[in-house]
DNA sequence: CAATGACTATACCGATCTGTATAGTCAAGA
DNA sequence: TCTTGACTATACAGATCGGTATAGTCATTG
């Protein structure tokens, strides 16, 4: 397979960027870990920034895919799926994952909203929002956009709280809040 | 004044770290901006990490002070003060401030929970939580800790959403959520 | 067979990084 | 007056940074 080394490179980069940060992770470290020559990297990517973008793209695909699949496995009912967001989150943190969100981290290191990396992160969040918005619409929310945005604020809050304070059960607390706002938007108990 | 240069250094460092990130901001850049010689820095601080810690300490003092003052200026009623959290946030974003939270950013770059920098960030969040918990207790919440933690999840969610997606009015959306959970905990409309 | 292109190895570039060494200025206070 | 200590200036160390140059291997494919 031709693209094997490229893939290895992006996977390794994603993991190291996630664990150590973007600026703190040098090209040489990625190369040594992936077992790839430097010229191979610059054959596939013009710069480190493009490797970062590729890593974020991979993460975006994987995360959204698994996120949606996990939610949809929890229930068939759209209303329950809105709440399942936080059950999935709880499971994620329960299984060790607590290094925060790579996209939030990316915006921390690349603060300029016009930078390609920051924009990629913003786009990821927008796509997650769009998905939650679909669920909210299917659930018959009065204002699906508003509800989805509120749930996403909770979602990001949970991720950050888990990362900063190591608080795994914040997903459970957020779920309680989600119950209230979903119930209110759907007009009944 | 003896400590003038030290103060200048910490102020400049705080601003640059906030705008450009911790790893991306070199010592030399801070020195040039502050107009301070390198040996002066290493006279006051053992390392860059200690300068980072001092900058975070300054930010912690300032933020919590202004945060509490702003909230307490909004209302005398503890219940209204819980909601005022999000009014203060809305004003903050309205006045341009949207570069995210330095403590969240710090945890993005220093992921190891045992690192001094990460711990300083966690401690800051804990102190904010403690303050909100006090307000919740005064308001007569059934479970003040739970309510405070939920409000803090919302708070961090709002900050991150504003930073990543440039969404200034997420504070307003979070306030609506806060109204619901506060109302539920206080047992009446 | 010839050509293509993914890949490797090594050496190098200039810049920048944190931190130190050296030597000295200058003002405040005992 | 003498000492202390905050401060400056310059030069440098050793490492690492992102990225390039050069030269060549090797498997697939036309």
Each residue of A151-165: pLDDT tens digit?
999 999 999 999 999
Residue among A15, A16, A9 nearest A44 (CA) = A9
**pLDDT the model gives residue B4:** 83
In window 29-58 of B, residues with CB < 7 A from nucleic chain D are: 35-40, 43-44
Q: Is the pLDDT of residue A187 over 80?
A: no
**pLDDT the model gives residue A188:** 60
B151 and B132 Cβ atoms separated by less than 8 Å: yes
What percentage of chain A has pLDDT greater than the value 70? 98
Q: Is the pLDDT of residue A87 over 70?
A: yes
Q: How far apart are CA A161 and CA A171, in angstroms?
A: 9
Give the residue-averaged pLDDT of A25-44. 95
Q: How far apart are CA A23 and CA A122, in angstroms?
A: 19
* CA–CA min distance A177, chain B (Å): 7
Chain B segment 135-174 residues within 8 A of A by beta carbon are 146, 149-150, 152-158, 160-161, 163-167, 170, 173-174
CA of A30 to C1' of D21 (A): 21
Q: How confident is the model at residue A68 (pLDDT cuts 50, 70, 90)?
A: very high
Q: Is the pLDDT of residue A3 over 90?
A: no
Give the Å distances, CA to CA, from B146 to A169, A170, B75, B179. Answer: 11, 10, 23, 15
A40: tokens are 């191979």
Gyration radius from chain A CA atoms: 18
Q: How confident is the model at residue A174 (pLDDT cuts 50, 70, 90)?
A: very high
C-alpha B135 chain-centroid distance:
18
B108: tokens are 């993005």
Q: Is the pLDDT of residue A135 over 80?
A: yes
Residue of A nearest to B102 (CA): A108
Give the residue-averaged pLDDT of A38-43. 95
Taking the CA of residue A100 as centre, how many other CA atoms within 13 Å lie in the half-sphere pointing to its CB? Answer: 31
**B186–A contact, CB cutoff 8 A:** no
| Residue B100 CB contacts under 8 Å (≥ 6 apart), including other chains | A107, A108, A111, B159, B160, B162, B163
Regions of chain B where pLDDT drops below 50:
1, 189
């Amino acid at each position: 397979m031709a693209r094997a080394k490229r893939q290895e490179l992006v996977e390794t980069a994603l993991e190291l960027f996630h664990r150590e940060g973007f600026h703190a992770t040098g090209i040489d470290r990625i190369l040594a870990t992936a077992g790839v020559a430097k010229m191979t990297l610059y054959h596939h990517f013009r710069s480190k920034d493009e490797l970062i973008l590729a890593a974020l793209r991979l993460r975006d695909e994987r995360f959204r895919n698994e996120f949606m699949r996990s939610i949809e496995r929890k229930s068939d009912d759209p209303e329950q799926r809105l709440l399942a967001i936080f059950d999935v989150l709880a499971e994620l943190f329960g299984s060790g994952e607590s290094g925060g969100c790579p996209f939030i981290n990316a915006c921390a290191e690349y603060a300029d909203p016009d930078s390609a990396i920051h924009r990629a992160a913003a786009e990821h969040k927008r796509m997650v929002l769009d998905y939650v918005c679909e669920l909210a619409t299917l659930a018959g929310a009065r204002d699906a956009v508003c509800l989805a945005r509120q749930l996403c604020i909770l979602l990001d809050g949970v991720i950050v709280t888990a990362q900063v304070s190591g608080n795994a059960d914040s997903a459970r607390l957020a779920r309680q809040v989600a119950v209230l706002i979903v119930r209110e938007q759907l007009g009944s108990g």
